[in-house]
Structure 1
Amino acid sequence: MPVTRDIPATYRGPGRVVRRLLAAGHREDRALAYLMAGCVLMFLAQLPRLAREAHLTGQELNMLMGASLMAWVFVAPLMLYCVAALSHIVAKLMRGRGTWYSARIALFWALLASSPLVLLNGLVAGFIGPGLELQLVGLAWISVFAWFWIGGMLAAEKGAV
């Protein structure tokens, strides 16, 4: 199923989608594509907020965008690989039967599937700015991301795939 159909399907059942992704076989290129797409979308979501910050403070927008690009496209993927490894170790301690790959897919897919809310969060940060609205959208994103990740990890670590 294409990514554009899998993302809405994840909102109905994250475990089901992760099981389907894992049933397609061990495809490290696909895991990396999910990770990089999610990180690029996270970077793009920052742009409205960065433009607002540059306008209000007089900072150079290109410098802010460069730092955000470096953080999200080069550093964050490495950190997310470490987080996936740690989550797999914790799952193994709790008698999980998944693989390193299944832990990566669960995390990377959760990041990519929750990206519509990240983009909304970026728009709210850029157009409305700090306030209750931004906090509510941020809370919604964190909640959905956690739901997708935990649901995906439960499906991945059951070892039924």
Structure 2
Amino acid sequence: MPVTTDIVAAYRGPRTVFRRLLAMGANEGRALAILMAGCAIFFISEWPRLAREAHLTGQELNPMLGGALLGWIFIAPLIFYAIGTITQLVLRLMGGRATAYATRLALFWAWLVASPIKLLHGLVAGFIGPGPGLTAVGAIWLLAFLWVWVSNLREAGWGQG
């Protein structure tokens, strides 16, 4: 099934889609591709906000884009791997039996599933700017991400020890 179809399906039933991803078997390359796709979308979502900021402050846009590229494509994946490892250790302490791969994939998939909302957030930040609209879209993104992540962790084996 195409990734875009899986993303839409994950909003209706995140556990079903994640179960299908886990059934494909442990493949670290697939997990990394999911994470990198999510990070690339987040990098793209920053473009309108950075363009607005560069225009309003008179700064050059290219160095700002370079910094965002470094952060989202090179540094953020390392942080996500650390968060995934810490999450797996915490779940083990709570009696869960999720594997390290399943825990990382749960985080990476939730990140990718929530990325379309982040694109909307970037557009609001670029065209409207700070305000209640931006805060509302950010809150919706956070809730969607957390909902999918927790659903994925439950499917991966959280609390089944």
Task: Describe the SS at the equivalent of 1:130.
Answer: coil
Listed as ranges, the matches of 1:63-142 within 5 Å are: 63-142=63-142
CA distance in 2, matches of 1:18, 1:159: 17
Map Cα deviations across residues 129-159 of structure 1 (whole Å, 9 max, x no partner): 0000000000000000000101101111259
**Identity score, percent:** 56
- 1:50 aligned residue: 50
Q: Which runs of 4+ in 1 moved over 4 A?
A: none
What is the letter of the counterpart of residue 77 of structure 1?
P
Provide the aligned length of Structure 1 versus Structure 2: 160
What is the letter of the counterpart of residue 19 of structure 1?
R
CA distance in 2, matches of 1:145, 1:59: 32
Structure 2 runs not aligned, ≥5 long: none
Question: Structure 1-normalised TM-score?
Answer: 0.97
Contact 2:102/2:156 (<8 A) preserved: yes
Question: Structure 2-normalised TM-score?
Answer: 0.97
Q: CA deviation at 1:94?
A: 1.1
Map Cα deviations across residues 41-93 of structure 1 (whole Å, 9 max, x no partner): 00000000000000000011001000000000000000000000111111111
Structure 1 runs not aligned, ≥5 long: none
RMSD: 1.2
